[in-house]
Amino acid sequence: MSFLVLDSSALDEKKWGSLLVNSPQSTFYHSLEWSLIWERSCDYAKSLFFIEEEGTSYRIGLPLVRIKKKGLVSYFSMPMGTYGGPVSSNLTESSLQDFIHKVLTKIRSFTLSKIEMVDFENSHGSLSKAGFQRDIANTHLVDLKGIDVKQLLNKRGYQQAVKKGLDVRKAEKPEDIRRCYQLYLATSRRHKNSPKYPQLFYENLFNLGSKAGWLQWWLAIEREKIAAYMITFAFKKQVYFWDAASDSEILNLRPNDLLMGHSLSWAQNYNYENFNLGSTPAGSEGVVKFKEEWGGKLKSYPGYVKRTPLGRFIGLLRGR
């Protein structure tokens, strides 16, 4: 049995893919594609894969994105709160503790600030024994086996969008991506948020996924103009909502309801079992109402962070 630290070019894609298929903890965000999008889009990001190999197979794996800014290094599995953490077909508490110890030993450095992991399946509680602090985040899940999406399409917002003549199609060309990014920036300004992703991130996402089965990039069209978009990822039996934005001038036409209904219908028609509606920030009553109206049920899951003395000092300086 050997312990490996590989970059994306050295990773055996077939072995990694097999590990994800057989691991109950794996999500789309564990995929090689998600890591590649980060390192191709942000010069401060590099993807690394920490692996315990047994024979000709990867037994345990942990994808991490290393972020280096202003001389400080942080590791995320995965960035921006998307799901991550170790994956294995048979991960015991003792093997997890040993594996995490090896990971921490490998990444130790004078410039290390912190390491964060999101544990969507709540299967890595022993991380607390390795000095990680635990926090709780929320999402909403739609059980596609337990609801009839056709009934949800009777919602007033969805029917209003249809009656107003809005249509849905997939993103098809670079001009679509540029328009979507404009909507993303405008929505960020409207909510007084700083943009998290550069335009290149969206371009790489489209280039990697447009001809693959995992990307569904839906557009709401009003008079031949993109009024809103919704991006989802399909992985195993799950569909994951990632991002959406809309033109504030035509929100009354309910393009967001149109896209949600269309995406849920697509997922149910293709026999996916769950639709993950994405992070639900605390205090976002409007978001919660929207998700619940579309059949979402609250799911809480833990995230873990381990800060080094340097990271704790930086946090004090920043008032955190």
- The reply to whether 146-272 shares the fold of 2-137+301-317 is yes
The CATH homologous superfamily for domain 2-137+301-317 is Gcn5-related N-acetyltransferase (GNAT) (3.40.630.30)
Closest Cα partner for 117 from 79, 60, 89? 79
Phi, psi of 105 (to 5 degrees): -65, -40
Average predicted confidence (pLDDT) for the chain: 95
Pairing of strands 72-77, 167-170: unpaired
Residue 320 has pLDDT above 80, yes or no: no
Domain residue ranges of the chain, discontinuous segments joined by +: 2-137+301-317, 146-272
Residue 297 has pLDDT above 70, yes or no: yes
Closest Cα partner for 38 from 80, 10, 4, 3? 80
Looking at CATH, the fold of the domain delimited by 146-272 is given as Aminopeptidase (3.40.630)
Could you report the per-residue pLDDT of 66-89, keeping only the tens digit for each?
999 999 999 999 999 999 999 999
Instruction: Kindly state the average pLDDT of the residues 97-101.
Output: 95
The reported pLDDT for the residue numbered 260 is 98
What is the greatest pairwise CA distance in the chain? 62
Instruction: Kindly state the average pLDDT of the residues 145-157.
Output: 95
Residue 1 — very low, low, confident or very high, per pLDDT cuts 50/70/90?
confident
Distance CA 221, CA 246 (A): 11
Distance CA 125, CA 233 (A): 27
Distance CA 211, CA 192 (A): 34
Could you report the per-residue pLDDT of 244-281, keeping only the tens digit for each?
999 999 999 999 999 999 999 999 999 999 999 999 98
- pTM value? 0.95
The reported pLDDT for the residue numbered 317 is 75
Sign of CA dihedral 249, 252, 253, 258: positive
Pairing of strands 297-307, 167-170: unpaired
For the record, the structure tokens of 265 come out as 């219908």
Could you report the per-residue pLDDT of 189-213, keeping only the tens digit for each?
998 999 999 999 999 999 999 999 9
The reported pLDDT for the residue numbered 57 is 97
- Please list, residue by residue across 65-89, b when 16 or more beta carbons sit within 10 angstroms of its beta carbon and e when fewer do: bbbeeeeebbbbbbbebbbbbbbbb
